[in-house]
Amino acid sequence: MAHRYQAQIYVTLRPSVLDPAGTAVESGLKHMGYDNVAGVRIGKYVELTLEAEDEAAAKTQVDRVCDELLANPVIENYRFELK
């Protein structure tokens, strides 16, 4: 019997990769007077629902989806939570 899982997926640039969008947001915040903000990084958040036999199968499938479509493993990291 299949169970339904919701995956919450977070994709972020690797620390060694420059983040021009994060730099632009940080600069904008500083111009607005938020001098105490630093290290802004921009990422993606994805939710999806899937059916799988068990949690291990769901994790394997979400990991594969992230690796093959949602993230570029060369420049991005990802993590996810199942509920």
Given this model, what pLDDT does residue 75 score? 97
Q: Name the band, by pLDDT with cuts 50, 70 and 90, for residue 63.
A: very high
What pLDDT, in 10s, does the model give residues 2-36?
A: 999 999 999 999 999 999 999 999 999 999 999 99
Please report the sign of the dihedral spanned by the C-alpha atoms of residue 54, residue 55, residue 56, residue 58.
positive
**Domain residue spans of the chain:** 3-82
Q: Average pLDDT, stretch 50-62?
A: 98
35-51 confidence digits (pLDDT tens):
999 999 999 999 999 99
Is the pTM above the cut of 0.75?
A: yes
Q: pLDDT class for 69, splitting at 50, 70, 90?
A: very high
Look up the CATH architecture of domain 3-82: 2-Layer Sandwich (3.30)
Q: What is the pLDDT of residue 1?
A: 86
